Amino acid sequence: MSTKKYAVIGHPIGHTMSPFIHTKLFELAGIDAVYTKLDVAPESLGYEYDHILSKLSGYNITIPHKQNIIQYLDEIDEKANMYGSVNTVDNRDYTAKGYTTDPDGFLKALDAAKIKLNGRVVILGCGGVARTMAYEVVLKNIPVLFAVRLEDVEIAKKLCEEIKSTVIGSQPSYCLISELNGDIDVLINATPIGMFPNVENQPVSDEVIAKCKNVFDAVYNPLETVLIQKAKANGSNAVGGMSMLVWQAVVSHEIWDGSVYDPAEIEKICIAASNELKNR
């Protein structure tokens, strides 16, 4: 059996952790495959698709190609269509099908950390990551509150309107981070605050952290941000973004070859990936 070939495409692509994570996953599953990275400029996407991407067994897509790749695919799945974004392609039986694994990666990361989406859910930020997470919350018939900076209020308002029109009966709302108070069942940080090198920063006050039962921080470098450390010190259930990064990669493998992974093994990959980042 010949070695299967996979890759991640993006521009720029030098910083990506995908080859490290996916290689570990292929090794765990005992699958003979190589996974590389391809730096593809936006104007070269069509050429690369015809001459290289279409010949791979599958590939991942990152910024800035998550929307533009769709025009070249034969089909996309329902969730990718809803989000208007593709980050995984499976080339099988001469058919290129696109998926988005970010939402399921988020849900699997929460699952592995035993964090249930219920009660009062607050998302810090209103960018692309926050949008993905918010849709998964409201699709479970749970209200979501965006806590944002003053300069992002208009963005948050438009996002709430979009969600309400897309998911009928959903209840998204927004407030300023400075106005955030009361008990929170699940706090989700979808901002880059606390990311390396500014690791001493935190997105909310100690008073807010103290009132959170569960905390998920999308930041994956460092493995544990100040937010996660303080939440754990308060006795809260808390997990960082490396878990989501690895679990969304796991979902790609479920699509490509049906592999199933033990959560304990995934936790080891999260730690190994974090150490790899430190070494870099």
Determine if residue 77 is labeled as part of a ligand binding site.
no
The answer to whether the annotation marks 218 as part of a ligand binding site is yes
Give me the catalytic one of 4, 5, 24, 66: 66
| Pair 88, 53: CB distance under 8 Å | no
* 3-state secondary structure at position 73: coil
Write 82-89 long-range contacts (CB < 8 A, 24+): 82/135, 82/166, 83/132, 83/135, 86/61, 87/60, 87/61, 87/62, 87/248, 88/58, 88/59, 88/60, 88/61, 88/251, 88/252, 88/255, 89/53, 89/58, 89/59, 89/60, 89/61
Is 62 annotated as a binding-site member?
yes
Task: Check the annotation: does 229 bind a ligand.
Answer: no
Strands of the sheet with 88-92, listed across from one edge: 33-39, 4-10, 58-61, 88-92, 95-99, 75-76
Is 18 within any annotated ligand binding site?
yes
To the question of whether residue 220 is assigned a binding role by annotation, the answer is yes
241 is known to lie in a ligand binding site: yes
Residue 4: active-site member: no
Asked whether residue 182 is marked as a ligand-binding residue, the answer is no
Task: Establish whether 210 is an annotated binding residue.
Answer: no
Catalytically annotated residues: 66
- Which residue numbers belong to the known binding site for NADP(+)? 78, 218, 241
- Which residue numbers belong to the known binding site for shikimate? 16-18, 62, 87, 102, 220, 248
- Which residue numbers belong to the known binding site? 16-18, 62, 78, 87, 102, 218, 220, 241, 248
